[in-house]
Structure 1
Amino acid sequence: MSTPPTPRVLPTDTRPAGGAPDDDSHDGGAFGWLRALGPRGRRAFGGAFGGYALDSYDYFTLPLSMVAIAAYYGLDSGQTGLLTTVTLVVSAIGGAIAGVVADRIGRVKALMITVVTYAVFTVACGFAPNYETLLVFRALQGLGFGGEWAVGAILVAEYATVKNRGRTLGAIQSAWAVGWALAVIVYTLVFQFLDEDIAWRVMFWTGALPALLVVYIRRNVHDAPEAAEEREKSTDKGSFTAIFKPGLLRTTLFAVLLSTGVQGGYYTLATWVPTYLKSERGLTVVGTGGYLTFLISGAFIGYLAGGYLTDILGRKRNITLFAFLSAASILAYTNIPDGANGLLLVLGFPLGFCMSAIFSGFGSFLSELYPAAVRGTGQGFTYNTGRAVGAVFPTMVGFLADSWGVGGALVFGAIGYALAVLALLGLPETRGKELL
């Protein structure tokens, strides 16, 4: 492995980290990485964290309401799985477009566009008069859902210091667990007090929350000046063709495969575990929420721990480690004997931990694979194309569930993690790389 390049010393007023020096003075304490961002970087972190948390909240309104929606419209497992698949497939288009927009007009403007888009169409889902309309609205929601993470991750990555980038982006990833937890809390309350026929609609209507975040972003968040200046110099900024040129073609193809594997495994679990708990384990709404609490707690800690490990072990080793552990966790979780619901509860924590920690290195890894001029385009395309192809996994589980049962079909998600490990063979290690 070649020695990582020595980071350049930047003038104080142009540092990507918002003016904070990239030295050991900011490494002390659990939140040294946050102090190292500087004032402007911390505001950017707040905007990206909030955007991703609410992105997660709006996404999970569907999986949590899926049983009620299926009953309301009289859907089979394949049709309910298609609701998730169409969201993820269209999110690939939204993510790719958002990446190009971020390279052309800036990270912050693109971030606001994505947040408004996913909020508007999540609310619209609650007014859907039939299955076909819900499918269309959910697809359009995917346009904003697909772009938010890539844009927000790049915005913060360009402020983060080299030695703290992994843990900083891991903290951004942890926002997904925060949004997921908020969705479970709201779900538990709404479905406890309202009839299911209206409760699922109310869940979607609460997706209007992100509109408040846009006001904060508009007033307080700005692109990292050094990276923005570098991006403006290039004639290739926001070019799809640039990421398929000989110098980047290999990177793009293997990054898509990596994203496909990890997200195929993840969305299989995120989509079908609530249904598995209710349909095959017979848990009530409150019981399902309790079990998901352990799963989500593990996810939150996993994101943070994975962020630290990706800085210590390197991007590729961190992904490899948690790919194996995630696959093992799926197999263990879906083979628990009937009646052993206590063990199901206990294993929910490591399952959430492993399947989330693998994502912690994605924000830094994908950002480091591309130069500033096409960083948004490259990250948006590879992450979201992988999401679209990985979206086939939940649909396959839906169709297999009728014959295998949901628990048996969930094992299909383990295949995704094997693909991720294979993809790493074609990608370089990027720990220590400067984002200029």
Structure 2
Amino acid sequence: MSNISERIERLPVTPMLWRVLLLTGIGWMFDAMDQGMVAGVMAAIGRDWSLSPADLGVLGSASAVGMAAGAAIAGMVSDRWGRKTVVTFTLILYGIASAVSGFAPNFIMLLIFRFLTGLGLGGELPAASTLVSEFSPAKVRGRMVVLLESFWAWGWIVASLIAYLLIPIYGWRIGFILGGAPALYAAYLRKGIPESPRFLEEAGRFKEADEIVSKMEHQAAISYNETKETYKSCKVKLRSFTLFDLLSKIYFRRTIVLWILWFGINFGYYGFVLWTPTLLVGKGFSLVKGFEFTLIMSLAQLPGYYSASYFIEKIGRKVVLVVYLGGTAFSAYLFGKAPSVSTVLTYGCLLYFFSLGAWGAVYAYTPEVYPTKARGSGTGWAAAVGRLGAIAAPYTVGVVYEAKGKQAGFAYVFIMLTIVFAIVALVIAFAGIETKGKSLEEINSSEV
């Protein structure tokens, strides 16, 4: 194990780690607000601009196209120029594009703005989870990344409140404006985030890495005796790992498993969250009632995240992923068959509980299975492949829903999503690896 990494593994949770988590998480929250806002405004935009379900599916897919491109590009860039650079720039891009979406004069311009929003959002999320993962010692690494992901729930809750309280009064444009503008302030706050010491070490910037880790050791009242000569920097020109590298023999299994995981959970998740208010309207509820139900169900995300953050260090990544993905599949089936208001809310809460708990485990698990030199690229490409699922899902749901009619279509949509979640759970159960309790270097010391 390398010197810097060994020192990180000896640390408890320090104030610096909490600071990295908080400042990264605030940006993550605004990202979630944007995605939640799309779910809230789809029904309102469809009504105002007389859009078909297929048109709304294209709208839901527009940002996902940008997210796919952003994830792949930003992942490779973060391996070459650093995690901090990527998480700051992408949040600025996202904030500007999201805010101007509220001023779109027509459907085509809105699609363009949503693509640019996705470009920033897609680039930020994998780089941010990689940053938190690399700052964390093995004993709390999974928990810290799941807690980072839990900021998504708060953003979605705020978006649901805006959709419920403001959009029926002021229209859908206010949602995008309120979602994008605060993200620029969050980007400003991120100037205080240090670079990943593991990345700095990989880049030969030992002195900078030592200064950051030394601060963390000071905060933890841990001393480390080492001669300063060890930390003379000798900068290394890092290269980005390509798609061919990630599909080489040593990385092939882990890459394919992650791609299936990311594609499936994106397809299933975006298949229901972006459509839930619209589908509930089609089931006979008013638009305001659909927003109200979505807000209530969004609250169930929080115990989903926090329970996953607890169990991920107790029983491991694989078990948490399989249980929560399986629970999502079962909940999706029940939600599609829900006959009454009470069952819609009950099964909807279960659906949000399990699906967001699974998402937390996905973000914790993904950066762990690649070495530092390939971690950003591997995580970015997994997220990019996942966004193909997010691109396909809204449109596919729209087509199935339109073809089967409002009543039967609701059930067909959720049967389709049930099958997707179940398949992904089986892949992880039989082909995934366990990373609990191992250092990042230990996991990647040999072929997985």
Fold-level match, TM-score > 0.5? yes
The question of whether the paired residues in 1 share the 8 Å contact of 2:336 and 2:410 is answered with yes
1:122 correspondence with 2:98: yes
Q: Output one character per residue of 1:356-415: Cα deviation in whole Å (capped at 9) or x when no partner.
A: 111122222111110001101100111221122343122111011113235222332122
Instruction: Determine if contact 1:16/1:227 at 8 Å carries over to the other structure.
Output: no
Matched, 1:266 2:266: no
CA distance in 2: counterparts of 1:346 and 1:426, whole angstroms: 32
2:183 alignment counterpart: 210
Displacement of 1:284 = 4.2
How far apart are 1:234 and its partner, in Å?
Answer: 6.7
Report what 1:414 is aligned to.
418
Unaligned 5+ segments in structure 1 are 1-7, 23-35
In 1, Cα distance between the equivalents of 2:296 and 2:2?
A: 44
1:261 and 1:417 in contact (8 A); partners too: yes
Q: Secondary structure at the match of 2:76?
A: helix
1:389–1:333 CA distance, 2 compared to 1 (3 A): closer
Deviations 1:92-134 (A, max 9, x none): 1101111112111111110011101111111121222211111
For 1:42 and 1:251, locate their aligned partners in 2 and report how far apart those are by CA, in whole Å: 29
Please say if residues 4 and 198 of structure 2, whose CA atoms lie closer than 8 Å, have aligned partners that are also in contact.
Answer: no
Residues 246-395 of structure 1 mapped to structure 2, 5 A cutoff = 246-285=249-288, 287-337=289-339, 340-395=340-395
Within 2, Cα distance between the matches of 1:298 and 1:62?
Answer: 19
Structure 1 position 174, deviation (Å)? 0.8
> Identity rate of aligned residues, in percent?
27
Q: Compare 424-433 and 123-132 and name the one that shifted more.
A: 424-433
1:68 aligns with 2:40: no
SS in 2 for 1:127: coil
Deviation at 1:343, TM superposition (A): 2.4
Give the counterpart letter for 2:312 in structure 1.
T
CA distance in 2, matches of 1:89, 1:284: 27
CA distance in structure 2 between the aligned counterparts of 1:130 and 1:315, rounded to whole angstroms: 44
Number of aligned positions between the proteins: 404
Post-superposition Cα deviations, 1:25-51, rounded to whole Å, max 9, x if no partner, equal xxxxxxxxxxx3312212211121111
Q: Using the alignment, how far apart are the partners of 2:154 and 2:175 within structure 1?
A: 17
Matches within 5 A, 1:127-206: 127-194=103-170, 199-206=171-178
* Cα separation, 2, equivalents of 1:101 and 1:9: 23
Deviation at 1:182, TM superposition (A): 0.7
Decide whether the 8 Å contact of 2:302 with 2:353 is kept in 1: yes
Give structure 1 regions of 4+ aligned residues with deviation exceeding 4 angstroms. 8-12, 231-236
TM-score (norm 2): 0.85
Work out whether residues 198 and 372 of structure 2, in 8 Å CA contact, stay in contact via their aligned partners in 1. Answer: no
1:186 Cα deviation from its structure 2 partner: 1.6
Q: 1:362 to 1:131 in 2, by over 3 A?
A: same
CA distance in 2, matches of 1:200, 1:246: 49
Alpha-carbon RMSD across the aligned residues, in angstroms, is 2.0
* Rounded Cα–Cα distance in structure 2 between residues aligned with 1:136 and 1:11: 44
Tell me the amino acid that sits aligned with residue 185 of structure 1.
L
- Give the conservation status (yes or no) of the 8 Å contact 1:99–1:377: yes
On the 8 A contact 1:57/1:182 being kept in 2, the answer is yes
CA distance in 1, matches of 2:264, 2:76: 24
Alignment partners' CA distance in 2, 1:325 and 1:435: 29
Tell me, yes or no, if the aligned pair for 1:58 and 1:119 is still in contact at 8 Å: no
- Provide the TM-score with structure 1 as the length reference: 0.87
> How far did 1:183 drift?
0.7
Who is 2:194 aligned against? 222
Distance, in Å, in 2 between the alignment partners of 1:283 and 1:415 is 29
What is the alpha-carbon distance in structure 1 between the residues aligned to residue 301 and residue 236 of structure 2?
A: 39
1:420 to partner: Cα distance: 1.2
Partner of 1:43: 19
- Residue number in structure 2 paired with 1:3: none
Correspondence for 2:226: none
Separation of aligned partners in 2, 1:289 and 1:231: 48
- Report the equivalent of 1:16: 8
Matched residue type, 2:301? A
Rounded to whole Å, the distance in 2 between the matches of 1:226 and 1:342 is 49
Counterparts of 1:50 and 1:162, CA distance in 2: 23
Give SS of 1:302's match: helix
CA contact (8 A) 2:150 2:302 kept: yes
Please state if 1:432 is matched with 2:434: no
Distance 2:200 2:299 in 1: 36
